């Protein structure tokens, strides 16, 4: 069954990135009426930061893990299970301080795990989640076009491309609604501002 993992990370209800992912899910569901959507909102429930105990557990052979170590990895197992079940993932990203929200970083730290989503068994890094597609839909106050001086300040999309590629998700597309600051000044309505981006979102999901 086609399965989409839908992740949101903006803490705001009026979030633009949430509106983009909602539209993506709507279009995707229309195209995949039998499809399943798994929803994970990391802004309302973020995993704990990984700690020394978690790291030791993750690098202990599965067969040798204690019940406490298995418990420490339970959230990671659940989140990785959601990624494994999905053919596709769509991630809503609010640009915070030139990067991703901290809650999304916490999710990443739980799903990037040796032996589960990447491996160095052959001597070089290998992503284990191949054959999946990722779409990142972001919103930012400023505009960060790739190849421009401002674009070099965007540490969100390039980071997500790198880290998802590291775990094998190399089919990566990023689409940004940049320039949201304009909405604060009231020089443009939200509808007019979002229309072209929503059209591109629908095209991506179709």
Ligand X SMILES: Cc1cc2nc3c(=O)[nH]c(=O)nc-3n(C[C@H](O)[C@H](O)[C@H](O)COP(=O)(O)O)c2cc1C
CB of 133 to ligand X, least distance (A): 22
Interaction of residue 12 with ligand X, rule CB under 6 A: yes
Contact between 152 and ligand X (CB under 6 A)? Answer: no
Question: Mind giving me the DSSP string for 10-58?
Answer: -S-TT-HHHHHHHHHHHHHHHH-TT-EEEEEETTTS-PPPP-HHHHHHH
81 belongs to the binding site for ligand X (CB under 6 A)? no
- Site map 28..67 versus ligand X, x via CB under 6 A: ----------------------------------------
- When asked if residue 188 is in the footprint of ligand X (CB under 6 A), the reply is no
Cα 146 to Cα 188: distance, rounded to the nearest angstrom: 24
Residue 85 C-beta: closest distance to ligand X, Å: 25
Q: Of 45, 43, 37, whose CA–CA distance to 17 is shortest?
A: 43
Please enumerate in sequence order all residues whose Cβ is within 8 A of that of 99, keeping only pairs 6 or more positions apart, or say none: 155, 156, 159
Strands 126-127 and 118-119: antiparallel
What is the smallest separation between the CB atom of 161 and ligand X, expressed in angstroms? Answer: 18
Instruction: Answer yes or no: are the C-beta atoms of 92 and 18 closer than 8 Å.
Output: yes
Residues in 118-147 that interact with ligand X by CB under 6 A: 139-142
Q: Please report how close the Cβ of residue 121 comes to ligand X at its closest, in angstroms.
A: 38
**Locate tokens 């505009």: which residue?**
143
Asked whether position 156 contacts ligand X by CB under 6 A, the answer is no
Q: Which stretch binds ligand X (CB under 6 A): 29-37, 90-98, 103-111, 197-205?
A: 90-98
Residues in contact with ligand X by CB under 6 A are 10, 12, 15-18, 94-98, 139-142, 180
């Amino acid at each position: 069954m086609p399965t989409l993992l839908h992740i949101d990370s903006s803490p705001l209800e009026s979030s633009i990135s949430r509106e983009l992912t909602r539209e993506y899910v709507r279009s995707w569901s229309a195209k995949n009426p039998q499809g399943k959507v798994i929803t994970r909102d990391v802004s309302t429930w973020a995993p704990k930061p990984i700690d020394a105990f978690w790291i030791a557990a993750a690098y202990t052979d599965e067969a040798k893990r204690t019940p406490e170590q298995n418990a420490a990895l339970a959230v990671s197992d659940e989140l990785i299970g959601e990624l494994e079940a999905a053919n596709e993932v769509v991630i809503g990203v609010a640009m915070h301080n030139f990067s991703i929200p901290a809650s999304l970083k916490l999710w990443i730290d739980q799903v990037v795990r040796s032996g589960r989503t990447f491996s160095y068994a052959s001597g070089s890094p290998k992503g284990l989640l191949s054959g999946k597609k990722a779409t990142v839909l972001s919103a930012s106050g400023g505009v960060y076009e790739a190849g421009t001086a401002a674009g070099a300040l965007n540490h969100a999309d390039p980071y997500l491309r790198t880290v998802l590629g590291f775990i094998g998700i190399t089919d990566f597309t990023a689409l940004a609604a940049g320039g949201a600051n304009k909405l604060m000044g009231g020089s443009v309505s939200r509808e007019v501002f979002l229309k072209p981006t929503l059209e591109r979102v629908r095209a991506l999901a179709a």
